[in-house]
Structure 1
Amino acid sequence: MRQNPSFTLADVEEIKRLIRENPWATIVSATADGLVASHYPVLVDESREELSLVTHVGRPDEQLHELGQHEILVVIQGAHGYISPGWYDAKPAVPTWNFTAAHLSGVPEILSDEENYRVLGALVDHFESRLPNPRQMEGTPENAEYAQRISAGTVGLRLTPSKIVAKSKLSQNTSRETVDRVIAELEGDGPYASAALAAEMRRVHERMRAAR
């Protein structure tokens, strides 16, 4: 991902927030047999001060990716959407795409069976906690027995990235009036409306204005 100083996202806590709010990740490996990509949910490893991710893959994806033998790339995609030049002003302009994304790369650590099982439980708890009647992995003896049996079909990993490229391209290089118009369009009911992208733009620009 080409970096631009106007859009660089360097705050580790903001990158963690991006991951927490957008946990569905793309994992990419350049293997002996060519490029391989898979998609899995990830969690920030809250037990570590530095940025680390934990997740799992289903067998035989660990073989397809040759996990532990070389770097992997984990792509996190946040809110994004089309921005029409008609939302700017009367001056000539071209359309663009606003987005937030992070690319995290490094050699992953393969987890033990015990730690993998704990990560699986944390993933289930993380997503089930929003439900009125969450179903925990070990909520009943039957669930626990089933989870212990099928966990053997997964391989856990932790990625503490050696390289991070993160970008938050949210009209930071335009005027306040233009930003306000873009947010209004995104909050509207048009074909490119996106409440999530509008909220992200509003949050980022309010922080920028407060810092001035």
Structure 2
Amino acid sequence: MRQNPSFAMTDVAEIRRLIARNPWVTLVSSTEDGLVASHYAVLLDEERDDLTIVGHVGKPDDLIHGLGQRELLVVVQGPHGYVSPGWYGDTPSVPTWNFVSAHLSGIPEILTPDENLRVLDKLVAHFENGMPQPRLLWERPNDPDFVTRLERGTVGFRLTPTRVVGKRKLSQNKPDEVVETVIAGLDGGGAYADPRLADEMRRDFAARKAAR
């Protein structure tokens, strides 16, 4: 991902927030047969305060990616959306796309079956937490044999990235009044309304104003 100093996101806490709020990621590997990509959910490793993530792939994706043997690129995509030049006012301009994203690269560590099982348990608990009646991994009608077979069909991994590129392009290069207009446009009811992106812009805008 090409970096621009105006849009660089280097704060670990902010990238952790991005991962926590957008756990559905893209895994990319370069193999002898070319590039391969898969999509899985990940979690921040709760035992670490850095950008280490844990997750799993279903077999045979571990072999397809060469998991644990070569570098893995994890693409984390946050809120993103179209920005109309009409929101810039009466000035020469073109459309753009605002977004928040991070790329985490490194060689992942393969988890043991017990570690993988704990990660699977945490993944289910994490996402079921939002349900009115959570269905956890070990609860009926699941039984131990079912859970064991589930684990055997997956390969868990832990990735502590050795290279991180974070980018937050939220109209930081525009005057305050334009930023406010773009936020209003994204908050509106038009074809390109995107409240999540508007919230990210509003949060970033407030932080930048407070730092002046």
Q: TM-score range by the shorter chain?
A: over 0.9
Aligned to 2:183: 183
Per-residue deviation, 1:141: 7.0
Alignment of 1:104-143 (within 5 A): 104-140=104-140, 142-143=142-143
Computed over aligned residues only, the root mean square deviation of the Cα atoms, in angstroms, reads 0.9
2: CA distance between counterparts of 1:193 and 1:144?
Answer: 46
1:16 aligns with 2:16: yes
2: CA distance between counterparts of 1:205 and 1:144?
Answer: 50
Conservation of the 8 A alpha-carbon contact between 1:77 and 1:101:
yes
Q: Residue by residue, what CA displacement relative to the aligned partner does 1:96-136 show, whole Å, maximum 9, x if unpaired? A: 00000000000000000000000000000000000010000
Note closer, same or farther for the CA distance 1:204–1:143 as it changes in structure 2 (3 Å cut). Answer: farther
Aligned length: 212
Matched position secondary structure for 2:55: strand
1:59 aligns with 2:59: yes
2: CA distance between counterparts of 1:64 and 1:210?
Answer: 47
Greater than 4 Å deviation, 4+ residue runs: none
Per-residue deviation, 1:51: 1.3
1:45 aligns with 2:30: no
Q: Residue by residue, what CA displacement relative to the aligned partner does 1:64-90 show, whole Å, maximum 9, x if unpaired? A: 001111101000000000001100021
Which amino acid in 2 is paired with 1:167?
A: K
Which amino acid in 2 is paired with 1:199?
A: D
Aligned to 2:81: 81
Aligned to 2:163: 163
| Structure 1 alignment gaps of length 5 or more | none
- Using the size of structure 1 for normalisation, the TM-score is 0.98
